[in-house]
Amino acid sequence: MKTVEHEELSGLQIGDRPLVVVDVDEVVLQFLDPFKAFLRANDHELVLETFSLNGNVTSLATGEKIPDADVGAFLAAFYDAQEEWQEPFDAARETLTGLTEIADVLLLTAMPPRHREARRRLLSRFGFSFPLIASEEPKGAVLSALCSKDPPALIFVDDMLYNCRSVAESLPDALTINLLINDDYRAMAPKTEAPSVVATGWDHADRLIRRHIAENG
């Protein structure tokens, strides 16, 4: 066993088992639909015309799109209240719990660390007891620190292709899975490119992960 030397990873132990690293928003926890509901409760609306939150939030009072800074403020407020709004995707907990028989599981969420405790409580409430990192650093950099010595077989799951690219560039031997569960979200998302592979649900991701571990773990 080795201790990871990184301020966000202090105290985590990485062993010789395969490691499955999983994003949280729109992968473990639903994000898009709850954020839309949160905005509507605050007299705003999200209509995705592009694959971005910025430029797609409209004031219901004026019908005008709001500045990016205001979108960021709404997002921060949503994360402050996340325990009231977010729930997990079907099969996420069952799949990840099943994978612990053959791998270690780590949750890596892209958010300011100040929101970590609320996210920890929310995840624990739904039975996701896996270690959690909250970081705004590129995910490839975080995982490079995590696997700086003798990296185990690594699988990374994220809904954002740029995060998959970041990990693939930093750790070329990793399997990077672009998990796109929401049909509308998938239709707007950039096309998944090699070396990443796309999964359309947790059952699909589970098959990809287990096959990779069987072949490489």
Q: What share of the chain is helix, strand, coil (3-state, %, to 5)?
A: 40, 20, 40
The answer for residues whose C-beta is within 8 angstroms of residue 215's C-beta and 6 or more apart is none
Give the pair of three-digit tokens for residue 25. Answer: 């928003």
pTM score of the predicted model: 0.92
Q: Reply yes or no on whether the pLDDT at 7 is more than 80.
A: no
> Mind listing the domains of the chain with CATH numbers?
2-30+88-216 (3.40.50.1000), 32-85 (no CATH)
Please tell me the distance from the alpha carbon of residue 20 to that of residue 176, in angstroms, as a whole number. 10
Tell which wins on pLDDT, 119 or 1: 119
Q: What is the DSSP string of 145-211?
A: HHTSSSPPPEEEEES-HHHHHHHHHH-TTSEEEEE--SHHHHHHSPPP-TT-EEESSHHHHHHHHHH
Q: What are phi and psi of 91, to 5 degrees?
A: 80, -5
Please tell me the distance from the alpha carbon of residue 80 to that of residue 36, in angstroms, as a whole number. 15
Q: Which of 129-138, 139-148, 202-211 comes out lowest in average pLDDT?
A: 139-148
Q: Reply yes or no on whether the pLDDT at 3 is more than 80.
A: no
The answer for residues whose C-beta is within 8 angstroms of residue 72's C-beta and 6 or more apart is none
Q: What pLDDT is stored for residue 2 in this prediction? A: 41
With cut-offs at 50, 70 and 90, classify the pLDDT of residue 146: confident
**CB–CB of 156/143 below 8 Å?**
yes
**CB–CB of 82/115 below 8 Å?**
yes
> Whole-number mean pLDDT of the chain?
91
Q: What pLDDT is stored for residue 5 in this prediction? A: 44
Q: Which amino acid is at 92?
A: A
Q: Mean per-residue pLDDT for 114-128?
A: 94
User: What does the longest C-alpha to C-alpha distance in the chain come to?
Assistant: 57
Please tell me the distance from the alpha carbon of residue 116 to that of residue 64, in angstroms, as a whole number. 33
